[in-house]
Amino acid sequence: MCTHRTTEGRYGAGMSILAQSWDTVAAGYARYWVPRFRPWVLHTVDALGPLPPGPIAVPCCGTGAELSVLADRHPERELVGIDLSAGMIEVARQTAAPNVRFIVGDASTLPGTWAAVVSCFGLQQLPNPAAALSRWCQALSPGGRLAVAVWTADIQDEGPYDALRAPTQELFGTRSSDWNARLHNAVQAHATVVSDALVPYSITHAGPLEFWRAMVSDGPWQPRLVRYPEKTAALRETFLDTWPPGAFSHRPHARVLVADAP
C-alpha cells in the first residue's frame, strides 16, 4: 500500500485531491489505459533524435509508460521520473530498469538540467500548463530536446469524449482552454519548435460501461467523482442512456510538441 505523503499542507487542496486520486487508480490506469495510449508514447519517445550527454527527465511519469520505452532505447542514461502520486510511482517502480530513479513531487518546476524532457498526458493536469512547458524548455541543456504529448480541447475524436463534452460543460462548467493557445509561444520563447501536430490513433473499448468505469475508476475522472459524486452520477446516466451498447473504437487526437534547445 502506498502512503499519502501528499498532504494539503504540502500541495494545497486541489493538488492533494489530484495526487490521492491518482494513488487510488494507479493499478487500474496501468492495466486499462497504458496499453491503449502506447502508440502516442512510442510516437513521443521516437521524436528524440541524437541527444547531448546527460539525464532524461520524465515529468508526470505515472506508472512508467515513457520510462519503460526510454529504458530500452537509452540503457546507458540516467532516467528520472517525477510524479505527484506516490501510488503511480509505486506501480512504476515494480518494473523499472536499473537506470531509472523517481521523485514524488510537483513537476511544474523542474529543477536540474536535462538532455531531454519527455512527458505524455500530464501537462494538461498542471495548474499552469504553459508556464510549466516554458520551464521544461529552460531546463534543457544546449542541443537538448523536448517531446511532450498533451490532451487538449482539440481531441476531436467523434467518439465518447465529443459526446460527453456538452453534458460535462452543462454540469461542471467549462475549464478555460486558453492555455492550449499559449503552448506554442511558451516553447518558442526558449527553444525552436521542430513540430507541433495533432496525432490520432485508435482506441477500442468493450462497451460504454467499460469506458465509463475506466475513466472514473481507472483514470482521470476519479478526482471529479471525489469532489462531485452526484453530478458525476448524473453524467454517467446521461452517457449510458445515449451511447449505444456494444464494443466501439474511436480516434482521439493528442497534441504532440517537439522542440530543440539552442
Residues that bind ligand SAM (CB under 6 A): 18, 22, 34, 37, 41, 60-63, 65-66, 82-85, 88, 106-108, 120-122, 125-126, 220
Q: How far is the CB of 123 from ligand SAM (least distance, A)?
A: 8
Are 202 and 251 in contact by the 8 Å Cβ rule? The answer is: yes
| Residue placing its CB nearer to ligand SAM in the complex, 19 or 166 | 19
Q: Kindly report the length of the chain.
A: 262
The DSSP line for 184-240 is HHHHHTTSEEEEEEEEE--EEES-HHHHHHHHHHSSTTHHHHHH-HHHHHHHHHHHH
What the block records as the C-alpha cell of 125 is: 493536469
- Closer residue to ligand SAM in complex, CB, 2/234: 2
User: Please, what is the minimum distance in Å from the beta carbon of residue 246 to ligand SAM?
Assistant: 26
Compute the distance between CA of residue 206 and CA of residue 247 in angstroms, rounded to an integer.
4
Axis crossing angle, helix 229-242 with helix 208-217, rounded to the nearest 10 = 160
| 82 vs 100 by CB, closer to ligand SAM | 82
**Looking at beta carbons only, is 15 or 115 nearer to ligand SAM?**
15
Task: Give the CB-nearest residue to ligand SAM.
Answer: 62
Q: Which is nearer to ligand SAM, 105 or 208 (CB)?
A: 105
Angle at 195 (CA atoms; ends 64, 34), nearest 5 degrees: 20
Q: Which of 186, 202, 203 is nearest to 257 (CA)?
A: 186
| The three grid cell numbers given for residue 73, joined into one nine-digit string | 532505447
Q: Cβ closer to ligand SAM: 95 or 242?
A: 95
Closest distance between ligand SAM and the C-beta of residue 85, in Å? Answer: 4
Q: How far is the CB of 225 from ligand SAM (least distance, A)?
A: 16
| 88 vs 115 by CB, closer to ligand SAM | 88
State the nearest-atom distance from the C-beta of 137 to ligand SAM, in Å: 17
Question: Helix (H, G, I), strand (E, B), or coil: what is residue 237?
Answer: helix
Task: State the CB neighbour count (10 A cutoff) for residue 94.
Answer: 10
Amino acid identity for residue 18 in this structure: L
Nearest-Å Rg of the Cα atoms of the chain is: 18
56-59 and 114-120 beta bridge pairing: parallel
Shortest gap between Cβ of 40 and ligand SAM (angstroms)? 8
Least gap, CB of 88 to ligand SAM (angstroms): 4
Question: What value, to the nearest 5°, has the Cα angle with vertex 219 and ends 213 and 225?
Answer: 70
The SS3 assignment for 1 reads coil
